Amino acid sequence: MLRRQDVGHRVVVRRIVGVRNERPLYSDALGELVEITETDLTIATSKGPLRVPLDEIHRAKRVPPTRRPNAADVVALELAANEAWPAPVQDHLGGWLLRAADGWTGRGNSALPIGDPDRPLEAAIDAVERWYLTRGAQPLINTPLPLAAPVGAALDARGWTARPLTLVQTAPLRSILDAAPSRARVELTRTPSEAWLAIASGRKGGLPEAARHILTAVRQVRFAHVYGEDGTLLGTGRGTVTGAGHWLGLALIEVVPEARRGGLAQEVIGALARWAAESGTSRAFLQVEERNAAAVALYSKLGFTTHHSYLTREGPTPA
C-alpha cells in the first residue's frame, strides 16, 4: 500500500470496479499521487484528478517516472525560483535555505532543503524549528519531490502536515510565443502600479513591506498591466529573469472575474515571454497548485509540463 511519503511520485493503482460472474473486475489508474488520507487517495491522471476510496484498492505501488530531471537540474531551478521570489530575511543551514517574509506566502517563509545541512537530518529539522519558532512563526519546509523525499519521510514521522501539492512547470519560450497572442495592449513596467498592487493584495491577503521587497528586489523584473477601454486594470502578471539569465519566472498571473475567458492571461504571459526572449532567455517556469485545474489547463496549452513538484510541510505552531 502507498504511504504519505509516496505523495508527489508516479504510482499505479489497481482498483475493484465491479463484479462479474462472482469475480471482481479491475481497472488500473496511472498518475502522480497527490494526496492520501485515512479513507482515500487522489491521483493526477492524464484525464484529470481521480479519487479512489482505499477500500476499493486491490493493489497500489510506486512506479518509475516517465522522465525525471536529475538532482542538479532540480536544485538549479529551485535556486532560480528563490532568486525570483527573494525573501528579505535569508539564512543558511549548511546548504539549506531559511527564509522569512512576515508570513507573506509559503515560498517566502519556508526552509528549502536542497543541499547538505552539515548535520544529521533530525538535527537539521530541529534547527529549522528553532529558527522559525524564535521568530514567532510556524516552521515550514518546502520539499521538492522526489529530491527531498528523505526529508519528507522524517517530517511524516514527526507529524508534520502538508499543504496541497504544487507543480513546478517549465516550457520553452518558443512554445509560449507560438501559442500566445501578440497584441499591443499589454503594458510592461519596471514597478507595479497601485492598481496592480491592489489586485495582488486581494489575491494574497494583503501586502506587508516584506511583500513589496519580494516583488521588486529582483534586478530584471517586469510587471504586466492590461487595461480596459475605461482605464480599469483587467489583467496583471509578473516576470523575472534569474538563474544566470536562463529562466523567465512567471507569477501572479491574474485576470479580474468580469474579464476572464477572453485570452487576457495568455496575452500577459506572451508579453512577458517576448520581453525575456529579448534578453536571451530561452525557458520559463511557474509554480501552480495541482488542484487548480483551470490554471494547469491554461499553462498546458502554452507548452508547460511538470518539471518536478513540491509540498509545503507545516510544523508545530508557536506557543
pLDDT digits (tens, 9 = 90+) for 32-79: 787 788 899 888 777 777 889 999 999 999 887 666 788 999 999 999
> Can you tell me which residue has the cell 537539521?
124
User: Do 283 and 172 touch, CB atoms closer than 8 A?
Assistant: yes
The separation between CA 209 and the C-alpha centre of its own chain, rounded to angstroms, equals 23
For residues 258 and 234, give the distance between their C-alpha atoms in angstroms, rounded to a whole number. 8
For residues 294 and 228, give the distance between their C-alpha atoms in angstroms, rounded to a whole number. 23
User: Do 65 and 10 touch, CB atoms closer than 8 A?
Assistant: yes
pLDDT digits (tens, 9 = 90+) for 142-200: 999 989 999 999 999 999 999 999 999 999 999 999 988 777 689 999 999 999 999 99
> Can you tell me which residue has the cell 543558511?
92
**Residue 206, SS3 per DSSP:** coil
pLDDT digits (tens, 9 = 90+) for 96-153: 999 999 999 999 999 999 999 999 999 999 999 999 999 999 999 999 998 999 999 9
* Residue of 282, 259, 270 lying closest to 237 (CA atoms): 270
User: What's the Cα-to-Cα distance from 150 to each of 4, 11, 107, 267, rounded to whole Å?
Assistant: 12, 18, 20, 40
Partnered with residue 61 across adjacent β-strands are 12
Which residues are CB-contacts of 1 (< 8 A; sequence separation ≥ 6)?
Answer: 57, 60
Residue spans of alpha helices (H) in 186-238? 194-204, 209-216
* Residue of 189, 274, 187, 286 lying closest to 234 (CA atoms): 187
Output the pTM of the full model.
Answer: 0.80
Beta strand segments in 113-256, E: 140-145, 161-162, 166-172, 186-189, 221-227, 233-242, 247-255
pLDDT digits (tens, 9 = 90+) for 201-257: 998 888 999 999 999 999 999 999 999 989 999 999 999 999 999 999 999 999 999
Position 299, amino acid: Y
